[in-house]
Amino acid sequence: MVIWKYGLFRLRPSSKGEDMQQERIYFFDTTLRDGEQSPGCSMHMAEKLRLARQLESLGVDIVEAGFAIASEGDFAGVEAVARAIRGPRIASLSRAKQDDITAAARALEHADRSRIHIFLASSDIHLKYKLKISREQALEQADTSVRFARKYVDDVEFSPEDATRTDPDFLCSIVQTAVDAGATVINIPDTVGYTMPPEYAATFRMLKQRVRGMENVMLSSHCHDDLGMAVANSLAALEAGARQVECTINGIGERAGNAALEEIAAAIHVRPDRLPFTHSIDLEKLYPTSRMLTEIITFGPAPNKAIVGSNAFAHEAGIHQHGVLSNPLCYEIITPAQVGVPANRMVLGKHSGRHALGHRLGELGYTLDREELDIAYGHFVHVADRKKSVFDQDLIGIVLTHLRPEGISRSGDDAVAAPNQA
C-alpha cells in the first residue's frame, strides 16, 4: 500500500515497522551506440564526448560508447570516451569474432573500468538467413568469443540477438554456454520489439531456473519499441529478476527506438510499491539531458513523449486546468521540478475554462471580478475558436478592448497600471 506525501509516492511501513527491501538497478545507456545507429542521430567526436559527460553527470552506470570495429570514427569515439569518463563503466559492442573483440579491447584500453559486449544471433531465422550457420556452430562461437574476451577484460556481457524469437531450449543452451565460458552479464534482447511483458518476464524466470550458475551472473534487458512495449517489457524484466536495464535518452534507437531511460527511471520513482528498486540516476537531470540530445541530433522527442515531451506537463482542457490549479497532484503524478522541467504549462485554447483564463490574466496583472471574467471568457472563446493557440497579446487585447479601455488593471483594492502601460 502506498500513501501520498509532499507529491511523492512513499512506501507505507509494513506491520513489522520495516520498509520493503530495495534492490539496486543498473542503468546501461546505449544512446551513443544503438541510439546513434538510427537515422538522423549520428554524432561527431565532440558531440559524443559532450553527451558522455552529461550521462556521467546523470548517474548512468554503464555507457556503451560505440561499436569499435564498425569504423575508424567509431573506434576513435569509444577510445575518446574511455579516456575522458571516469564514473561509469565504458562498454564497446562486438560481434562474436576475434577481430571485433580485439578492436574493442584496444579502444577500451584507457578506460578506468571496461566491458566488452558480445552479441550473437540465436533465433533460427537469424542463424539460417543472416549468419548461415547451425545451432552447433553458434554455440561454438559463443564459447570461443566469450573466452577470448575474458583474456582482455574481467567484465564480459553476452547477448543472444533476437532472444525473444529464439527456441526456449536453445536459448537456455546458448546462455549456459556463455555463462560457462565466463560471461558476467547475460542480456536478453527483444531485438525486433516482438515480445509482450508476461512472456518476456517468463523468459527471465526460465533462465534463472534452468541455467546453472545464473545466481553469479547479472541479467539484463534490452528492448525495442516496434509495438510500443519497450518500457513495459523492461519493467517486466526488472520484476522478474533482471538488475540491469539497457535504454537510451528520449528512447532513440533502431527503427521505432529503444526503451526510454527517463520513463524507466520515473516509473521506479513514482511506483516503489511495484518497483522497489534503487538506482543512481539523478532525476532532475533527465530533462536537461533530453534537451542536450535534441541539440546534438536532428530531432527532439514527440510533444506527447512521456516525461520529457513539450506536452508532458502541459494542460489545456478546462477540467484539467482547474484541477492542476487547485492541486497539481490531481493530474500530475510527478512534479516537473523532479525531472528537471522548469514548470508545467497552462495552454490556453478552445478547451480551456474560466479558472485557467483568470489565472493567466492574474499573472499578467489583471485581477477580474466574476462578472468581468465572464465577459472576458466569452470573448476568449470567440478568439480560441478561430486560432489554434491564444497568446498573451490576445488576452491583453481582450481586456483593453472590452473591459479596461483606460489601460488600468485592478489587483484587490489597488489600482495597478496594466502591462505595457506603466
Asked if residues 70 and 86 have their Cβ atoms less than 8 Å apart, the reply is no
Q: What is the second-level CATH architecture of the domain 22-296?
A: Alpha-Beta Barrel (3.20)
pLDDT in tens, 355-405: 777 776 776 677 788 888 878 777 777 777 777 777 667 777 777 777 766
Q: Is the model more confident about 272 or about 20?
A: 272
pLDDT at res. 344: 55
Confidence check: pLDDT of 270 > 60:
yes
Give strand pairing partners of 119: 95, 159
Residue 227's pLDDT band (cuts 50, 70, 90): very high
CA distance 4 to 76: 49
Q: What angle do CA 140, 141, 145 make, to 5 degrees?
A: 120
Sequence spans of domains, the chain: 22-296, 314-417
3 is written with which cell numbers? 500513501
Residue 401 host element (H or E)? helix 392-402
CA distance 304 to 314: 10
Spatial CA neighbour of 9 closest among 301, 275, 395, 213: 275
CA distance 284 to 290: 11
Spatial CA neighbour of 62 closest among 88, 93, 82, 87: 88
Residue 315 host element (H or E)? strand 314-315
Share of the chain above pLDDT 70, in %: 81
45 contact partners, CB below 8 Å, separation of at least 6: 73, 76, 77, 80
pLDDT in tens, 88-139: 999 999 999 999 999 999 999 999 999 999 999 999 999 999 999 999 999 9
pLDDT in tens, 314-345: 544 554 554 544 555 565 667 777 888 775 55
Asked if residues 344 and 332 have their Cβ atoms less than 8 Å apart, the reply is yes
CA distance 282 to 6: 19
pLDDT at res. 19: 44
376 is written with which cell numbers? 472576458
419 contact partners, CB below 8 Å, separation of at least 6: 364, 365, 396, 409
pLDDT in tens, 48-73: 999 999 999 999 999 999 999 999 99
Confidence check: pLDDT of 422 > 80:
no
pLDDT at res. 370: 85
Query: Alpha carbon of 416 to those of 133, 135, 365, 372, 404: distances in Å?
Result: 81, 81, 8, 16, 12
Q: How many CB atoms lie within 10 A of CB 46?
A: 10
Residue 189 host element (H or E)? strand 185-190
551506440: which residue's cell? Answer: 33
Residue 2's pLDDT band (cuts 50, 70, 90): very low
Strand runs labelled E in 6-72: 8-11, 23-24, 26-29, 62-66
Residue 159 host element (H or E)? strand 156-161
Q: DSSP 3-state assignment of 233? A: helix
Asked if residues 341 and 287 have their Cβ atoms less than 8 Å apart, the reply is yes
10-19, 295-304, 326-335: least confident range: 10-19
| pTM for the predicted model, two decimal places | 0.81
